[in-house]
Amino acid sequence: MTVEDAPRDTLAQAYLHKVHSHPGVYCIALNRPKSKNAISVQLLNVLIFYSSSPGAFCSGADLIERQSMADDQVREFLSNIRDIFNQIDSLPFPTIAAIDGPALGGGLELALTCDFRIAASDVTRISFPEVRLGIIPGAGGTQRAPRLIGMAKAKELIFTGRVLTARDAKDLGLVDYVASSSSTAFERALELAKEMSWSAPLALRAAKNAMSRSLDTPLDEALNHERACYEPLLSTKDRVEALVAFREKRRPVFVGE
């Protein structure tokens, strides 16, 4: 499936659609091509995996809209977007950001809330430009970037406002995969999503939950949390189905129960 195959609502600033060729995989597309998918107030309730426009992702805050906003409106906007990004970060199922174009400021912060980031090989603008605009990343960038790439690298990236290519971002650890030159980031994301879609939904969620405390919790406590995530799976229909399918030498059919 390509981006062009996806159904679209040309009036919506973002829309959800199912990938029929990949059971269990859904996408939310940014749909503001004229503003390069700058984050508008109306985009606050969406999880974005890719842009509906070829060669795009998310260029951060809509600076044209921002100029017309009073200070209190800016504060409210930032508070709302932080809350939304935190909710995305806490989603129980895997999330992938397919970066087929510039990921700047809030756009990069959005990508950092996802479990995986995939960039197209021709992407040349990935950055936190805020300090050059007299502000700082205000939607989690100063906190998520150090956790992902380390404090020193994150400081350098934010203090300089340096612009990265896809491969620069991959080398830095900011991006997990760079798509081949013959593929878009969205297509590469679909490949990864397809691999995960064969897994039991409840197990995927339990695994993500178990790993969520692995880096900031003492090992003994984290292992107890892992066990707590494991236990409920023992009585699920999907676990029984997996055992039966293994015995019958077929692919299991999971129902999320």
DSSP three-state, residue 178: strand
Q: To which H or E segment does residue 29 belong? A: strand 26-30
Q: What is the CATH number assigned to the segment(s) 41-196?
A: 3.90.226.10
Q: Out of 130, 138, 154, 206, which one is annotated catalytic?
A: 130
The answer to whether residue 242 is catalytic is no
Distance from C-alpha of 229 to C-alpha of 232, rounded to nearest angstrom? 7
Q: CB neighbours of 41 closer than 8 A, spacing ≥ 6? A: 65, 77, 80
Is the domain covering 199-248 a CATH 3.30.413.10 domain? no
Q: Taking a C-beta distance cutoff of 8 angstroms, is the pair 48, 58 a contact?
A: yes
Q: Is 109 a catalytic site residue?
A: yes
Catalytic residue among 60, 101, 105, 106: 106
Q: Which of 14, 29, 56, 61 is catalytic?
A: 61
Tokens, residue 187: 């297509």
Q: Residue 250: CB partners within 8 Å, gap ≥ 6?
A: none
Q: Is the pLDDT of residue 29 over 90?
A: no
Give pLDDT tens digits for 190-220: 899 888 888 898 999 999 999 998 888 999 9
Cβ-proximal residues to 31 (8 Å cutoff; 6+ apart), any chain? 8, 9, 10, 12, 13, 14, 15, 37, 51, 52, 53
Does 61 or 256 have the greater pLDDT score? 256
The 10s digit of each residue's pLDDT in 106-160 is 999 999 999 999 999 999 999 999 999 999 999 999 999 999 999 999 999 999 9
Q: Distance between CA 118 and CA 13 in Å, rounded?
A: 22
Ranges of each domain in the chain: 41-196, 199-248
DSSP-derived secondary structure letter, 174: S
Query: Of 109, 141, 206, 242, which one is the catalytic site residue?
Result: 109
How many Å apart are CA 216 and CA 85, to the nearest integer?
20
Domain 41-196 shares a fold with domain 199-248: no
Predicted confidence at residue 39, as pLDDT, reads 45
Q: Is 191 annotated as catalytic? A: no
Please give the single-letter amino acid code of residue 141.
G
Q: What is the pLDDT of residue 226?
A: 96
Tens of pLDDT, residue by residue over 65-120, are 777 788 888 888 889 889 989 989 998 888 999 999 999 999 999 999 999 999 99
| pTM, entire model | 0.82
